Structure 1
Amino acid sequence: MKTILLSTAVLAFSATFALAESHAQTVRLGTEGAYPPYNFLNDDGEVDGYEREIGDELCKRAELTCEWVTNEWDSIIPNLTSGNYDAIIAGMSITAEREEVIDFTQNYIPPASSSYAALSEDADITGGVIAAQTGTIQAGHVAQSGATLLEFATYDDTIAAVTSGEADAVFADKDALIPTVEASSGEMVFTGEDVQLGGGIGIGLRKSDTELKDKFDAAITSMKADGTINAAIVKWFGPDAVVYE
């Protein structure tokens, strides 16, 4: 019994010391800043969007001091593992391939649809040229679909490839495509069937940062329980977006 009590006391002290350290530590959140409405830079040049709102609230509940860092998508995982920031909050889907390199929290956006958008509903999405952002699960899907994959560094570049005629269609998160299609005044339309990919979107972390992962997981759980996440999803993605039940 004494051994158990002593172990408990040591663990409690260690947890208290670790918590004190985390209060002093600034946690850097890496995002792309170019994937609305998930994340983007507003008119003041600050990170904005659904993930800014969620990330700030997560840090508040986890009692962490956080700052935002922007990074290009194609190097966002390498710059996490090399220590340039401490977590990725950038519309990153949870996949088995990525989990070989980094860890993820539970998802803060449930698994949702990916869709094709084109200048015509008759666009060839099975054998044509399909634009997708490099390093995404959508790009991986296109590569295996039989269509010709045309990869671009940013989401905006994939849209430009369609409107310029360089690509027959774009394949991306439907939540990102909806405002793009709506803003095109009829120039772009959805085509084909929606596709379910990935295990939802989570926070990416280095495999060694287990304490930080636990803190974020606990905060996400509380935000799901009190409806905060669902309210933010509806605010940024509209009333028809997939929410947590």
Structure 2
Amino acid sequence: MKSLILGTAALALSASVAFAASHSVVRLGTEGAYPPYNFINDAGEVDGFERVLGDELCKRAELTCEWVTNDWDSIIPNLVSGNYDAIIAGMSITPEREEVVAFTQNYTPPSPSSYVGATADVDIENGVIAAQTGTIQAAHIAQTGATLLEFPNPDEVVAAVVSGEADAGLADKDFLIPAVEESGGAMVFVGDDIPLGGGIGMAFRQSDPELRDKFDAAIQSMKDDGTLNTMIAEYLGEDSPAF
């Protein structure tokens, strides 16, 4: 779903000293600002689909895990430099990112992105379109005739549409559905859904293949017994793509 566009800084960090795969405590890095995938609840704790999923994967892999939050725009560099051991943050598997990190298999299938606007007839082809910085949505807009207006987090994308600063916004549909429902009619979906990305996976340092394999096996076990589909329906909605 979301896909960070890698810069030279992240590539340079790929040569950093990595931690061994056999940590006594595995640190899971997430953004904490992308509901329903991950967010910070009223108790100040990481919550959402990926919190529940990550805890279950750690249990199946027989690992002790703790959660770490990190801003989206530096989430890959801080993985590579050793601030945490894995990323589980609504992150799309892309060829560009596979040059720097090692992914598990996807734990959600590819899910559509959607435009939202104040009205259904806004110009998404040539207008001003908001998206979160460093995402596949921002990259898509940059390839169209529209003017890209970037923001550091998805809530600001929604706010720009509601305020009229942007004609429309583009983000994961799973994220936008509750935002549209809660907008009181201030936002509607515009145009057709757009298939972007190759599904969400966990990301690891390329020097940690054993740790990656443990989580990959745990994801496969959840696919095999149906619990992953149940979790997707519960947290992402009955209409969200499943396995």
Do both proteins adopt the same fold according to a TM-score greater than 0.5, normalized to the shorter chain?
Answer: yes
Which moved further from structure 2: 21-30 or 228-237? 21-30
Partner amino acid, structure 2, of 1:109: T
Task: Give me the whole-angstrom Cα distance separating, in 2, the residues matched to 1:135 and 1:52.
Answer: 23
Shift of 1:79: 0.5
Q: Distance in 1 between matches of 2:101 and 2:67?
A: 19
1:171 & 1:46 partners in 2: Cα distance? 28
In structure 1, the partner of 2:188 is 189
Deviations 1:116-142 (A, max 9, x none): 011110111110111110111111111
Contact 2:103 2:203 in 1 (8 A): yes
Report the equivalent of 1:176: 175
Kindly tell me the number of residue pairs found equivalent between the two proteins. 224
Q: Name the residue aligned to 1:123.
A: 122
- Could you say what secondary structure the match of 2:170 adopts? strand
Q: Contact between 2:29 and 2:89, CA under 8 Å: does it hold in 1?
A: yes
Letter in 1 for 2:32: G
- Contact 1:115-1:193 at 8 Å conserved across structures: yes
Larger helix proportion, structure 1 or 2? 1
8 Å CA contact 1:23–1:65 kept in 2: the answer is: no
Query: What residue identity is the alignment partner of 2:161?
Result: V
1:24 is displaced (CA, Å) by 5.8
Letter of the 2:67 counterpart: W
In structure 2, give the amino acid aligned to 1:107.
Answer: N
Which runs of structure 1 show a deviation greater than 4 angstroms over 4 or more consecutive aligned residues? 21-24
Query: Bigger radius of gyration, 1 or 2?
Result: 1
Secondary structure of the equivalent of 1:135?
Answer: coil
The CA deviation at 1:239 is 1.2
**2:181 & 2:150 partners in 1: Cα distance?**
23
Q: Which amino acid aligns with 1:241?
A: S
State the TM-score, normalized to the length of structure 2.
0.90
Matched residue type, 2:239 = D
Q: Distance in 2 between matches of 1:116 and 1:49?
A: 23
Q: Which residue of 1 aligns with 2:201?
A: 202
Unaligned runs of 5+ in 2: 1-19
Distance 1:37 1:119, change over 3 A: same
1:77 aligns to what?
Answer: 76
1:192 shift after superposition: 1.1
Of structures 1 and 2, the one scoring higher in RCO (CA 8 A, sep 6+) is 2
| SS of corresponding position for 2:143 | helix
Residues in 1 aligned to 2:97 and 2:168: alpha-carbon distance in whole angstroms: 26
**Gaps in structure 1 of 5+ consecutive residues:** 1-20
1:9-61: CA deviations, max 9, x gaps?
xxxxxxxxxxxx96761110000000000000000010000000100000000
Structure 1: distance between partners of 2:240 and 2:170: 18
- TM-score, structure 1 as length reference: 0.89
SS at 1:166 equivalent = coil
**Match runs of 1:43-82 below 5 Å:** 43-82=42-81
- DSSP 3-state at the match of 1:171: strand
Write the letter of the residue equivalent to 1:89: I
